[in-house]
Amino acid sequence: MYALRVKRENAQEKIIELKNSGDYDDLRRVLRVKDEVLIPVKTKLPGAILKKLSPTGKKRSLKDLFGIGSFDLIGDTIIIWIPNELIDKKKEIGEHALKMYPAVKAVYSKVSAVSGKYRVPKLELIAGKAGVTTHLENGLRFKLNVKKAYFSARQSGERLKLTKYVRDGDEVCVLFAGIGPIPVYVSKKTKAKRIVAVEINPDAVKFMIENFSINKCENTTAICGDAKVIYPTIGTFDLLILPLPKSSIDFTNEAHSLLKLGGRAIFYMASQKEELSSKIKKLKGFEVEKIRREIEISPGEYRYVVHVRRK
Ligand SMILES: C[S@@+](CC[C@H](N)C(=O)[O-])C[C@H]1O[C@@H](n2cnc3c(N)ncnc32)[C@H](O)[C@@H]1O
């Protein structure tokens, strides 16, 4: 509850200085008293006086209070990676996140990164109530249970980019389709003829079918199964999308069989810069048309988008 008393003509400059040093308390209002101004500050700085100033109505962010600068927001669910030194405060962090964002119903701590066959992260509920959520993105809706199926809200830009590679009338197959964001984008934002989506996690497939329905997709089919096993039974396509960065390369033969002659495939690949060319060499039967480096996924490891054509 401290404030600095300064002459009115010096107030603006002082406020800027205090904001830059991080001492300005933006939760309380500045007060003018005759030719002086009382500026709220967070701590007892030299010359500060004790003064009650009225609140601005702003709330302290997770960054202000705990140094947590980012988190994922999926529908009405927040997922936070809490560093080890703050684990004891996880409940406090969760409750504060609920207060900050009144529309949020559940806050999870991310215990481990995505892992296992279903690429699901290990999550622990730290505040609110667990349940199914619906994420809105570029006019589309995605329903899911974040504990049971993979979904990343951070990839919305990439999903949109992907639609630019779909040609009118394309027959498209999306392997590793999860809860269906890519097939839904292709269905609603391109003139693809039909889209077949394959996913091994039955929980994800259940949501994918629901997402096809709530987005009114009329040209999509969801198939639950292992792409390695079912690929000979689903026909051939003009475009194949393989969003499984850690192991899409292991599906090179299946990809070749799923494409018409001259058909295109988009492989998402995780790789260190130095290892990329040896991975690309494994794409037997394909001509590489374009490689785009998307993002860094861990120190020195990148996600690449590799566009190829079946020879
Ligand atoms: C990285 S996630 C991507 C999901 C989705 N494309 C998205 O962008 O949200 C990969 C998905 O592939 C699925 N998967 C892994 N191996 C598979 C396989 N052999 N056959 C079919 N799906 C598989 C996992 O269950 C997971 O849902």
pLDDT of residue 283: 97
Whether 61 shows a pLDDT value over 90: the answer reads no
CA distance linking residue 292 with residue 164, whole number of Å: 14
Whether 86 shows a pLDDT value over 90: the answer reads yes
Q: Is 182 in the pocket of ligand 1 (CB under 6 A)?
A: yes
pLDDT of residue 200: 98
Backbone region of residue 19 per phi and psi (left: phi > 0; alpha: psi in -120 to 50; beta: other values) = alpha
Q: Is 148 in the pocket of ligand 1 (CB under 6 A)?
A: no
Stretch 35-40: mean pLDDT, rounded? Answer: 96
pLDDT tens for each residue of 260-295: 999 999 999 999 999 999 999 999 999 999 999 999
Q: Kindly indicate the confidence band of residue 88, based on its pLDDT and cuts at 50, 70 and 90.
A: very high
pLDDT of residue 177: 98
Of the candidates 292, 257, 253, the residue with the CA atom closest to the CA atom of residue 276: 292
Enumerate the β-bridge partners of residue 222. Answer: 197
Q: Which among 146, 200, 297 is the best mutation to test ligand 1's pocket, defined by most ligand atoms within 8 Å of the CB?
A: 200
CA distance linking residue 116 with residue 148, whole number of Å: 12
Stretch 149-168: mean pLDDT, rounded? Answer: 97
Q: Which among 137, 145, 175, 176 is the best mutation to test ligand 1's pocket, defined by most ligand atoms within 8 Å of the CB?
A: 176
Q: Is 151 in the pocket of ligand 1 (CB under 6 A)?
A: yes
Enumerate the β-bridge partners of residue 50. Answer: 2
Residues belonging to the chain: 311
Q: Is 185 in the pocket of ligand 1 (CB under 6 A)?
A: no
Ligand 1 atom nearest to 246, measured from its CA: 1
Q: Kindly indicate the confidence band of residue 123, based on its pLDDT and cuts at 50, 70 and 90.
A: very high
Distance 57 CA to ligand 1 centre (A): 44
Report the chain's mean pLDDT, rounded to a whole number: 96
Q: Kindly indicate the confidence band of residue 1, based on its pLDDT and cuts at 50, 70 and 90.
A: confident
Name all contacts of 123-130 with Cβ < 8 Å and 24+ positions apart: 123/79, 123/147, 124/90, 126/80, 126/90, 126/91, 126/93, 126/94, 127/91, 127/94, 127/95, 127/97, 127/98, 128/94, 128/98, 128/104, 129/105, 130/106
Stretch 51-61: mean pLDDT, rounded? Answer: 86
Cα-Cα end-to-end distance for the chain: 72
Share of the chain above pLDDT 70, in %: 100
pLDDT tens for each residue of 198-249: 999 999 999 999 999 999 999 999 999 999 999 999 999 999 999 999 999 9
Element (H, E) at 21: helix 8-21
Q: Is 244 in the pocket of ligand 1 (CB under 6 A)?
A: yes
Whether 27 shows a pLDDT value over 90: the answer reads no
Q: Which among 72, 114, 119 is the best mutation to test ligand 1's pocket, defined by most ligand atoms within 8 Å of the CB?
A: 119
Stretch 44-73: mean pLDDT, rounded? Answer: 90
Whether 65 shows a pLDDT value over 90: the answer reads no
pTM comes to: 0.86
Stretch 101-125: mean pLDDT, rounded? Answer: 95
Distance 200 CA to ligand 1 centre (A): 7
Whether 37 shows a pLDDT value over 90: the answer reads yes
Q: Which among 244, 246, 250, 258 is the best mutation to test ligand 1's pocket, defined by most ligand atoms within 8 Å of the CB?
A: 244
pLDDT of residue 64: 84
Whether 250 shows a pLDDT value over 90: the answer reads yes
